Amino acid sequence: MQKLFKYVRESQIWKSVFRHGYPDTPRNRTLAVLSNVFLHLHPVKVRRSGIRLSYTWCMGGLTFFLFLILTLTGLLLMFYYRPTADRAYEDIFALREHVPIGVMREMHRWGAHLMVISVWLHMYRVFLTGSYKPPREFNWNVGVILLVLTLLLSFTGYLLPWDQLAVWAITVGTNMARATPLLGHEGPLASALSFGGIDFIHAGDDVRFGLLAGRFVGEGALLRFYVLHCVGFPLIAATLMAVHFWRVRKDGGISGPL
Amino acid sequence: MHSLLASMLPGPLCAAALPVGGGGGHVDDGPVAAALKHAANWLTEPTRYSVASILGLIAVLYFRRFFSKVWVVTVFFALSTAFFVFAFQDPNFNAIITKPDNVPIIILFATVVFFSWLALRRAVINDERTKRGEPTLEGELAKQKVFTWPDLVYSELICLVLFTAAMLVWSILITAPIEEPAATARTPNPSKAPWYFLGLQELLVYFDPWIAGVLLPSFIIVGLCAIPYIDTNPKGNGYYTFEERPFAISFFWVGFLLFWVSFVILGTFLRGPNWSFFGPFEYWDLHKLEPMVNVDLSTWVWVDILGKPRPDNPFVREAPGIVLLIGYFLVLPPLLGKTVMRKMVTDMGMIRFNVFMHLFLWFVLIPIKMGLRWTVNLKYFIGMPEYFFNV
């Protein structure tokens, strides 16, 4: 057995993948982090305060992990879901009726709820430890945009089951856009944008119409939300996460007294 | 009210913290149970709850050394659990609490209470250490550096495995709900936004959509982004503290705990049909009506005080409100900057001070308007439905 392990570890294939020995010496531990594209998001060494749960609450890491879970389960759900008004509800319903112990939709739904909570708690911790202070001002701002993206991801996903809860929650949410100043047809100053008695802003061209691709939550809105939910927002969020993690390292590492 | 965080979250738990001993009662039995439920319904009424929670938060911050003790939070969680077990047997409470989509709200409640307590505790310890001239808890640990592999990588792996296991168990135990197919002709009552926006939906009671749904969320985002540039206090960077930044921490607690989180919980559990308020043990009656007797500021000034009909020109009619709000937003900041807040202006500079004051005044306008609605039934400061401009 020992011989076999030794043989495998000295083979050309193994060595081509792993450039270092087992990480039990300082040199190999350093190499383990440096030579791995995923691990090298971390620095080689961290402050002891940065790995204490009572200090960090692990909420940022959990948020990222939830994003990965949601990407994976979301990808699987996409195989069984057609974003049209005739099919969407049926497909989700079938997922429950025909799959024994199916957990993908459950993981996706509960995970999405949890991700909103974990983002809030992460920001709460960052605020309470003053970790937004110089030199981390910019990264806090990236974080705020990621918070907004998390809410938008959750909000666009809310519509996709196409049941009463979904449609009416999105109706309530997007009704606010009617009242956008200048750009919503029931907003203040919208009537100022009229010319010779013709309103430029009306129910058929205001912000809400743009969000929903129609005057009410219908097929156009479903497709629009689906594309944003599955492609648009995740891409932006993933990009900004890369920036966020990079700046955590560049701005002094996992938070701790500087 | 002796439990630290009872004050931050809705009344059922505040009420539970006082009288204990109510056994498992049903809707119509047991004088103790009935009294307890009545007390909970009474205390969660928005006016009383808001006043109690503000007083509670002040008490928690003032007596923070007491509230940060371990046994205090243990007692609080024990009482909360006891209350939940007791309340669970009530059909009205049960109906709302056991909805699968409301499980995360319970998690939100528990985690926010726990982490607030944890942060307060560490702040109290750190402040004492600083007073004695010792380094903070984090400061002491930060001097040591450890290898990412294995210390950090392994704890990440353990978190990941445990968390995945928990998610799987939750997903197997509770099936994701699906309601009836979408029907644009049938409006459910109540119609609620997704739970994380319920704080904004709650504000619709007091403000028009253009403020509650557009302006305030924009200000929240802008305000969050502005925090690191406005807060010029260099202390408290990277460790928990209260005494080194009392204003920043108190302000954030009021905003996050009293407004954001507790409005989410209020909106989820205590707002029923027609967005009427229902105590935790109240039946969601479709026909509960709340009298609408709200009056505009202009009516109050022209009709009640001056004793004549309101003028036809909307700008003349709404002049009192316009003057009032211009005074509030444009005259108040320089006035305060010249007098009470002079030191702030010199510390922060004019631009920071003005940005901060305007965000702050918008934030303060929320409790002001809520208070005026409850006390004198104020509807709008400025009510110009002609231009959809109601404040």
* pLDDT tens readout for residues B316-325: 889 999 999 9
In A, which residues are within 8 Å of B178 by CB distance? 89, 92-93, 96, 161, 163
Mean pLDDT for all residues in chain B: 87
Q: Are strands B145-147 and B383-384 parallel, antiparallel or unpaired?
A: unpaired
| Residue appearing with tokens 């949890």 | A114
A46 lies within 8 A of chain B by CB: yes
Beta bridge mates, B378: B295
Give the tokens for residue B373: 């609605």
Q: What is the tens place of the pLDDT at every residue in B240-292?
A: 999 999 999 999 999 999 999 999 999 999 998 888 888 888 888 888 777 77
Q: How many interface pairs between A and B have CB atoms less than 8 angstroms apart?
A: 277
DSSP letter at B44 equals: T
- Residue B166: Cβ within 10 Å count: 12
| pLDDT value of residue B25 | 38
Q: What is the CA radius of gyration of chain A?
A: 24
pLDDT at B304 over 90: no
A63: Cα separation from own chain's centroid:
8
Query: At A100, phi and psi to the nearest 5?
Result: -70, 135
Cα B253 to Cα A127, B99, B119: the distances in Å are 10, 29, 11
Phi, psi of B389 (to 5 degrees): -110, 90
CA B356 to chain centre: 21
> Whole-prediction pTM value?
0.90
B48 pLDDT above the threshold of 50? yes
* Residues 6 or more apart in contact with residue B52 via CB below 8 angstroms: B1, B7, B11, B14, B43
DSSP class of B237: S
pLDDT of residue B106: 92
Please tell me the predicted confidence (pLDDT) of residue A107: 94
Let me know: does B240 contact B115? Beta carbons within 8 Å.
no
Nearest to A171 among B147, B191, B213 (CB): B191
Residues in B closer than 8 angstroms to A114, CB to CB, are: 104, 107, 167
Calculate the dihedral angle through the C-alpha atoms of B35, B36, B41, B42, rounding to the nearest 10 degrees.
60
Confidence of residue B308 (pLDDT cuts 50, 70, 90): confident
Q: Which residues of B touch A190 (CB under 8 A)?
A: 388
| C-alpha–C-alpha distance, residues B195 and B267, integer Å | 8
Residues A169, B160: C-beta atoms closer than 8 Å: no
- A132-178 pLDDT, tens digit each: 999 999 999 999 999 999 999 999 999 999 999 999 999 988 988 88
pLDDT for the residue A99: 82
Give the count of beta carbons closer than 10 Å to the beta carbon of residue B386.
Answer: 10
Question: Does A63 fall in a domain?
Answer: yes
Q: Which residues contact B210 (CB under 8 A, 6 or more apart)?
A: A179, A180, A181, A184, A187, A188, B388
For residue A256, being part of any structural domain is answered with no
Confidence label for B26 from pLDDT (cuts 50, 70 and 90) = very low
B295 pairs with which residues across the strands? B378
* Per-residue pLDDT, B131: 95
Q: Report the pLDDT value the prediction gives residue A185, as an integer from 0 to 100.
A: 83
Per the structure block, which two tokens stand in for A179?
């009242």
Question: In percent, how much of chain B has pLDDT > 70?
Answer: 92
Question: Could A29 and B147 be called an inter-chain contact, meaning their C-beta atoms sit closer than 8 Å?
Answer: yes
Retrieve residue B146's tokens: 């450890």
Q: Using the Cα atoms of residue B376, residue B377, residue B378 and residue B384 in order, give the sign of their dihedral.
A: negative
Whether A163 maps to a domain, the answer reads yes
Contact B286, B273 (CB under 8 A): yes
Name chain A contacts of B115, Cβ cutoff 8 Å.
57, 121, 124-125
Structural domain contains residue A26 = no
Angstrom distance (rounded) from CA B87 to CA B27:
10
pLDDT in tens, chain A (258 residues): 889 998 998 899 998 988 888 888 889 888 888 888 888 888 888 888 888 888 999 999 999 999 999 999 999 999 999 999 999 999 999 988 888 778 899 999 999 999 999 999 999 999 999 999 999 999 999 999 999 999 999 999 999 999 999 999 999 889 888 888 888 888 887 777 777 777 778 787 888 888 888 888 889 999 999 999 999 999 999 999 999 999 998 888 887 776
The alpha carbon of residue A191 is apart from the nearest alpha carbon of chain B, in Å, by 7
| Res B334 pLDDT > 80 | yes
Domain that holds residue A206: 54-250
DSSP-derived 3-state class of residue B146: strand
Interface of B with A in 124-163 (CB under 8 A): 136-139, 141-142, 144-153, 155-156, 159-160, 163
CA dist., res. A160 & res. A153, Å (int):
11
Instruction: Check residue B94 and give its pLDDT.
Output: 85
Distance of CA A258 to the CA centre of its chain: 29
Q: Using the beta-carbon criterion (under 8 Å), do B388 and A186 form an inter-chain contact?
A: yes
Asked if B228 and A93 come within 8 Å (Cβ–Cβ), the reply is no
Which residue in this structure is represented by tokens 């509030």? B328
Residue given tokens 């939750």 in the structure block: B170
Rounded distance, CA B193 to CA B84, Å? 26
The pair of structure tokens assigned to B112 is: 């926010």
In this predicted structure, the answer to whether residue B305 has a pLDDT above a threshold of 80 is yes
Instruction: Report the domain count for chain A.
Output: 1
Beta bridge partners of B363: none
Whether B8 shows a pLDDT value over 70: the answer reads no
Q: What's B211's DSSP letter?
A: I
What SS3 state is found at A195?
strand
Run of H or E residues at A198: strand A198-199
A257 domain residue, yes or no: no
Residue among A63, A38, A46, A47 nearest A125 (CA): A63
Sequence letter at residue B376: V
Asked whether residue A68 is domain-assigned, the answer is yes
Tell me whether A253 touches chain B (CB under 8 Å): no
* Contact flag A49-B141 (C-beta cutoff 8 Å): yes
State the pLDDT at residue B29: 57
Task: For residue A131, give the DSSP letter.
Answer: T
Residue A184 belongs to a domain: yes
C-alpha–C-alpha distance, residues B360 and B353, integer Å: 10
* Nearest residue of chain A to residue B190 (CA atoms): A168
Q: Are A222 and A162 in contact (CB under 8 A)?
A: yes
Half-sphere exposure of A54 (CA within 13 A, CB side): 11
pLDDT given for residue A111 in this prediction: 96
* pLDDT for position A258: 65
**Chain B residues lying within 8 Å of A121, measured CB to CB:** 111-112, 115
Q: Up-side HSE of residue B370: CA atoms within 13 Å toward CB?
A: 18
State the distance between the two ends of chain A, measured CA to CA, in whole angstroms.
49
Say which residues have a Cβ less than 8 Å from residue B335's Cβ, sequence separation at least 6.
none
Partner B contacted by A89 (CB < 8 A): yes
Indicate the length of chain A as a whole number: 258
Structure tokens at A33: 């982090």
Nearest to B111 among A101, A117, A172 (CB): A117
Name every residue whose Cβ is closer than 8 Å to that of residue A79 and which is 6 or more positions away in sequence.
none
Is residue A95 in some structural domain? yes
The string of pLDDT tens digits covering residues B189-243 is 888 999 999 999 999 989 999 999 999 999 999 999 999 999 999 999 999 999 9
Q: What is the dihedral of CA B276, B281, B286, B291, to 10 degrees?
A: -40
Domain at A108, CATH number: 1.20.810.10
> Is a pLDDT exceeding 70 seen at residue B2?
no
Distances (CA, A) of A18 to A14, A28, A35, B38: 6, 11, 8, 67
CA distances from A103 to A58, A109, A160, B139 (A): 25, 10, 17, 43
Q: At CB < 8 A and 24+ separation, what contacts does B232-235 make? A: B232/B347, B232/B348, B232/B352, B234/A133, B234/A134, B235/A130
Cβ count within 10 A of residue A14: 11
Q: H-helix or E-strand containing B76?
A: helix B70-88
Cis peptide preceding A135, ω within 30 of 0: yes
**Tens of pLDDT, residues B82-127:** 988 888 888 888 888 888 889 999 999 999 999 999 999 999 999 9
Count helices and strands (H / E) in chain A: 12, 3
